[in-house]
Chain A
């Protein structure tokens, strides 16, 4: 009855575990790989094993890197008195793309979300406080997501850091560039009015 070889079903099962991939997509991907030239498949396999073997978590900023401290943390040209706190490694990439930020990062590994089982002690918050106490930090920028969990996390960190640092800031909230005032929702518009700036 089950004519599919075990080595094939095993890969299908492994693919199914990935986010956004169901059993159908998993089998499609598997059969695509079966028809792939040998060297391409080997290169994919090598990339996969390197991913786990060659990456480490930077012990300063907790970003994913090939060595610790990571390239950003080790870069003498960057401003080490400025820390930008983000939820995930992908947020670091987003901010790096702006080429505007010259400080260092701190990756929390998520936001406080008890529904998902994440409490403050599961994030790198204590490490951030230690880092601020240890180093000479002038400003901490809280760049968590502007949703309920991100805001609560930012408020919590602000309270933890208050005794130890001179300045804690939060990313501005307001209108997107290229947006249309008419189509902005009320909450965003309200925040934009609150956060207006003198020209």
Chain B
């Protein structure tokens, strides 16, 4: 899959942008706060219908347009599915429009306009659910490191978004599960306040178990796949010195207790010790029911549901050592990168399309060895869009033609003069270490 044209109106830094995008690599450079990340965010939004951070839609609209009193914004892109493999090869047009709600109650209490968002695929209006999987992207940002170092909730969210992009049923199950969980937790709180018969609490259990079990099984299947893919990528990032495992640690771990803290074991044979749990739907459901039944006194005391996939976690082990706790910065970075590269392979395996890669100022964080590997992958990829403040770090790294764009105050211009610097003249000498720099291996 690749984008052939992108049109942006009143989105973040951009008042207006019309851009034809070539295949291969496009590098967007410019100073801070000029619109580099906004450019990637526009594409990310078109693919996933969500913002990068926790911004509301109104905050995405260009602030000049907001003051003009007629908030209107639009993202439009044309995408061309790959020539091989895909059955549906016609180009697709994806469009997202925000406009002011025309109804009389269209303004909220603070006077700000309420926005209506509509999604259109090839000019036909679609629901958010039907949007899933239309445009596959993988986003690399420096904050990916937090997937390794951060709390379990970030890893769960990451996995949820990833699976939702390839499986609509997962998205629906997640939606219902979240709602049932909220109802059940509120039910527990009301029981705490007023007392009363506890048996009514279990009226939520059937739906919680049905949808929760689906989440557990899908998460397990996807993590098993990611684990295999990451095991192939990781040695190339680390010179084959270390072995990475990505493990799913379900809260409903049938048969064995959850190992919240893994022992520090070093040794080559660790992979035999840590299996992905092989779960069976019937067993998970039975275990889930049992946990809900047995946990009732504690749940009533604490006022929350204590068992279920909303308390799952993922474990990233390098040579058997838990990266979340014991990893060095360098190891954590390689782990995060391996995870994202595995995600890219997974999307390809699941959809038959190479996802579009979006990299937001990622290379500056990497050392020479890993940077060279990543650039090699990008160089060979169908379409990549990356941003940087410093073009020199890409000097002579690419073998295929690269399109360089310079962005200033929301205006983008082709920068052909710099394009030759980026592409490696195969006759010239290999890179000297001081050209690439970066931090040492962890």
Interface residues of A (CB under 8 A from B): 22, 24-25, 112-115, 117, 119-121, 148-149, 151-153, 155-156, 159, 185-187
Cα A51 to Cα B104 with chains together (Å): 29
Decide if B196 is an interface residue (CB 8 Å cutoff).
yes
Question: 8 A-B contacts, Cβ less than 8 Å apart?
Answer: A114-B187, A114-B190, A119-B196, A119-B200, A121-B197, A152-B183, A156-B203, A185-B129
Interface contacts (Cβ under 8 Å), in number, total 51
Which residues of the partner chain B approach A24 to less than 8 Å between Cβ atoms?
104
Interface residues of B (CB under 8 A from A): 104-105, 127, 129, 168-169, 172, 176, 179-180, 182-184, 186-187, 189-191, 194, 196-197, 200, 203-204, 206-207
With CB as the reference atom, state the residue of chain A lying closest to B169. A186
Of the residues B168, B186, B189, B203, contact of A186 by C-beta under 8 Å: B168
Which residues of the partner chain B approach A114 to less than 8 Å between Cβ atoms?
183-184, 186-187, 189-190
Q: Nearest Cβ in chain B — how far from A120, in angstroms?
A: 5
Of the residues B172, B186, B194, B206, contact of A115 by C-beta under 8 Å: B186
Of the residues B168, B172, B180, B187, contact of A119 by C-beta under 8 Å: B187
CB of B203 within 8 A of CB of A25, answer no
CB of A121 within 8 A of CB of B196, answer yes
In terms of DSSP, what is the predominant structure of the interface of chain A?
helix
CB of A155 within 8 A of CB of B203, answer yes
Of the residues B105, B168, B204, contact of A152 by C-beta under 8 Å: B204
With CB as the reference atom, state the residue of chain B lying closest to A113. B183
Q: Lowest 6 CB-CB distances: which A-B pairs, in order?
A: A114-B186, A114-B187, A156-B203, A120-B200, A115-B186, A114-B183
With CB as the reference atom, state the residue of chain B lying closest to A154. B203
- Most chain B beta-carbon contacts within 10 A, residue among A120, A151, A187: A120
Which residues of the partner chain A approach B179 to less than 8 Å between Cβ atoms?
148
With CB as the reference atom, state the residue of chain B lying closest to A112. B203
CB of A148 within 8 A of CB of B176, answer yes
Q: Nearest Cβ in chain A — how far from B206, in angstroms?
A: 6
CB of B207 within 8 A of CB of A119, answer no
CB of A152 within 8 A of CB of B104, answer no
Q: Nearest Cβ in chain B — how far from A122, in angstroms?
A: 10
Which residues of the partner chain B approach A185 to less than 8 Å between Cβ atoms?
127, 129
Cα A148 to Cα B173 with chains together (Å): 12
> Contacts A120-B200, A185-B127 given; 13 further ones with Cβ under 8 A?
A24-B104, A112-B200, A114-B183, A114-B184, A114-B186, A114-B189, A119-B190, A119-B200, A148-B176, A148-B180, A152-B180, A153-B203, A156-B200
Q: A114-B186, A117-B190 are in contact. Are A22 and B203 (CB under 8 A)?
A: no
Which residues of the partner chain A approach B191 to less than 8 Å between Cβ atoms?
119
Cα A148 to Cα B194 with chains together (Å): 24
With CB as the reference atom, state the residue of chain B lying closest to A147. B179
Cα A119 to Cα B207 with chains together (Å): 17
Q: Nearest Cβ in chain B — how far from A15, in angstroms?
A: 15
CB of A149 within 8 A of CB of B183, answer yes
With CB as the reference atom, state the residue of chain B lying closest to A116. B186
CB of A148 within 8 A of CB of B207, answer yes
Cα A118 to Cα B182 with chains together (Å): 14
Cα A185 to Cα B184 with chains together (Å): 27
Cα A80 to Cα B99 with chains together (Å): 54
Which residues of the partner chain B approach A149 to less than 8 Å between Cβ atoms?
183
Q: A114-B183, A119-B190 are in contact. Are A152 and B207 (CB under 8 A)?
A: yes
Which residues of the partner chain A approach B169 to less than 8 Å between Cβ atoms?
186
